[in-house]
Amino acid sequence: MKQVRSPQLLVECWEESLQTEPIRDFQTNPNFAQSALLLTLYMPTEETFALPLVLKVVDNQDFGQETVVGQANVHSLQPYFCDPWAEDYVPPRPPTLSVKKYQELLGYLYEKFWFKSSKAEDEYDQEVDWWSKLFWATGDAPQTLKYKYKDYHTLKVYDCELEAVPAFQGLQDFCQTFKLYQEWPRLDSPVVGEFKGQFRVYPFPENPEAPKPPRQFPLWPKKEDFPQQCLVRVYIVRAFHLQPQDFNGLCDPYVILKLGQTMLGNRDKYQPNTLDPIFGVMFELSCTIPLEKDLEIQLYDFDLFSPDDMIGTTVIDLEDRLLSGFGARCGLSKSYCQSGPFRWRDQMPPSLLLEHHAKRKGLPPPLFSPEGDSVYYNGKKFELQSFELKPPRARFLGSKKERLALYLLHTQGLVPEHVETRTLYSDSQPGIDQGKVQMWVDIFPKKLGPPGPPVNIGPRKPKRYELRCVIWKTTLVDPKEKSLSYDRINDIYVKGWLFGLEKDMQKTDVHYRSLTGEGIFNWRFIFTLDYLAAEHVCVLSEKDYIWSLDPTVTKFPARLIIQVWDNNIISTDDFIGVLELDLSDMPLPAPHARLCSVRMLEADPKWPHFLQHKHSSLFKMKNVAGWWPCQVLDGGKWRLSGKVKMTLEILTEKEALIKAAGRGQSEPNQYPTLHPPLRTHTLFMWFRSPIGKFIRVFWRRYRFRIIAAAIILLIGLLLFNFIYSAPNYLAMSWIKPELRLNAPIQIYANIINAPNASSTNSSNLTTPQQSLKPTTALRLKHLQGHVTHLRDILPALPAP
């Protein structure tokens, strides 16, 4: 209706009509001078038979010419019937405060609210931000991020437009919007304008002396109070399910805002290669409501050579939000924080908002106790203790008075702090969903003073870290090979990488010929990662192809993977075990190898919390060392396959530059200095104890054969001795049994008695001992001993 000069409203119902005064300064103030009109007419008492209402906007041009520029037909008046005598009926009231209240509010804001010291805000835990509130509401927050005060800082995520929420009546509880069409509209007639107003239909007494029902619409404030100068903050959070615009099935969306003659946005700040972009941008602009009331959010697809394609658009009526009695101009936060990342956004504190709401409902203002822990409102007394069973421990909360007022406001059905989901539509495909955008709008009338700082919804930016992992040793590693001596041996090495960064896989040198499953390495892994602490994920930004214009951002968990392998020269290496550690929630290591078990990695919810193994974040501990178990899947179950001793240290990018260190054992070899491990190679063990090693090797390999051969050899010797001696004994027993016994005795007797011959012969004869050689004499001596023994056991010897 840009060509309209001086419009006026004509209301027709059957044969009755009523018109307003023309608006003389339409370009600067489109409001009617007289805000309330009363039309008295006869109509059926039953609502279903009520006559339609015709609204016409007539433009007064030069020389008294009047032209109907648009009209709207209200076919059913049933939604507008009311009973003004009902006790619970509250007529619509304008959302205004007196000039005195404005001045008091400005003084309150400057003195007590916005100039609070925010020194403690720097000390706040930076792992929580506005995105934390969103993820708490959507359930997308990581399980490892546990914030005990999140119940104090929640918001509502609507899956539709705020106007489509049934509880808020389309935000037209005070003023309804009627679309104006041509006087004789066709099926495809465009909308030529809008009329904002409200109707109430109620019975009027025919008797002029009867009491008349109260008027339903109070007068508007002074004309100079409208239009209103407002500061508007538009928060575009993210979009999803956008229609593809490029040949690769993706698009490069960016945001453009239009409000009146103002246009904001930058096509260079597009999100590449995505259908679910995260914008995280805030646009701040000034406007005059209702002259500039239609906020248009447009999403375009960035194209390098061709013109940019419009993805879709959505329009928000700022006037409806400003005038609505549901407080849609600024959502009501869950808590009243004067500092921190969740600080109060509204210009008015909760106590003044409650007073303003009471006035709008036609109620007396609330009366607070001097301590602020109780209030008398709407005929009832409310105490803070009924809302807070225990004193709150959250930081930066306001006074008792403001907290109690906020609790009462949340019981009044007002619009809470929220994120709405708006559907995008395109003129090229009318009525077809082009995607969704999540956002919200805050409107601040400038006469209430400057608002607080805007909410930081910028996309979370990762912080670069350097992870240093020192592999000291392994033990109890499952053997995979057999040596010549049948020893179970391994050629152990360890490799590791970060999940999602497999290209940067690193591995130690090989510990050859480990007999006990122990390997010593003294080897350092160094990994660089971009970590997003608020989401406990790593972020990787890289181009999919060489010719790609923009990188693609990928998020994945911060997980360190350590694997133990057995090195093979000819065949492929044998996998021994794996260890996966979530750096943001990792099990604490065991101080000794004997205390290390697979139970450290198990998270059984059946076990009580105090019986489960303790977990912590490496980003908080900074440095940790000890033993972790490696496991392997065997028969559908995980079992222990080895243990590894490591030191894990996380450093910021600045700290890594100060404490420089090299990979492996290369320079700069420091923090800590890693010396080559002292390993004894099995080849040199033969030279250190060759006999023992030879016996060990052959005994371990051929011990059963050696024992069997010894037994066979012993049995063979016994058989050989028996076979060799048996013929002689058999022959002696068969031929002369007496000779076998007597002959030796006679010989022995002669030999023994020979030295006892007469002395006369002794001079001429030599003794047998003298005539024999020394060896023969020695044998005779032994024979004498045997003869003596025989004399003792035999009764008598035969005569010689």
Q: What does DSSP assign to residue 113?
A: I
Question: For residues 57 and 40, is the Cβ–Cβ distance under 8 A?
Answer: no
Write out the two tokens for 675.
């010396």
Give the DSSP H or E segment for 435: none
State the pLDDT at residue 141: 74
Question: For residues 415 and 353, is the Cβ–Cβ distance under 8 A?
Answer: no
pLDDT tens-place string over residues 688-700:
556 665 665 566 6
Average pLDDT over the chain, rounded to whole?
82
448's CB contacts (< 8 A; 6+ apart) are: 102, 105, 106, 109, 347, 348
Pick from 86, 88, 81, 90: nearest CA to 45: 81
The model's pTM is: 0.76
Q: Give domain 225-329+417-456's CATH number out of 2.60.120.10, 2.60.40.150, 3.40.50.620, 3.40.50.300.
A: 2.60.40.150
User: 463-601+613-684 sits in which CATH class?
Assistant: mainly beta
**May I ask the CATH architecture of the domain 332-414?**
2-Layer Sandwich (3.30)
Pick from 276, 268, 300, 272: nearest CA to 541: 272
Quote the CA–CA distance of 695 and 703 in Å, as a whole number: 10
**More reliable by pLDDT, 720 or 282:** 282
pLDDT tens-place string over residues 201-260:
888 887 878 888 877 776 555 555 678 899 999 999 999 999 999 888 899 999 999 999
pLDDT tens-place string over residues 28-63:
888 888 778 888 888 777 767 777 889 999 998 888
Q: Please state the domain extents for the chain.
A: 7-88+171-197, 225-329+417-456, 332-414, 463-601+613-684
Quote the CA–CA distance of 724 and 598 in Å, as a whole number: 67
Write out the two tokens for 314.
């959505």
Domain 463-601+613-684 in the same topology as domain 225-329+417-456: yes
Give the DSSP H or E segment for 469: strand 463-475
Confidence of residue 771 (pLDDT cuts 50, 70, 90): very low
Quote the CA–CA distance of 519 and 510 in Å, as a whole number: 9
729 phi-psi bin (left φ>0, alpha ψ -120 to 50, beta other): alpha
Secondary structure (DSSP) of 562-620: EEEEE--SSSPPEEEEEEEEETTSEEPPBSSGGG--GGGG---TTS-GGGSPPEE-HHH
What's the angle, vertex CA 719, arms to CA 718 and CA 720, rounded to 5?
A: 90
Burial (CB count <10 Å: 0-12, 13-18, 19+), residue 464: middle
pLDDT tens-place string over residues 423-469:
999 988 988 999 999 999 999 999 888 888 899 999 989 999 999 99
Write out the two tokens for 70.
């648009």
On the question of pLDDT at 630 being above 90, the answer is yes
Residue appearing with tokens 């670069």: 464
State the pLDDT at residue 474: 95
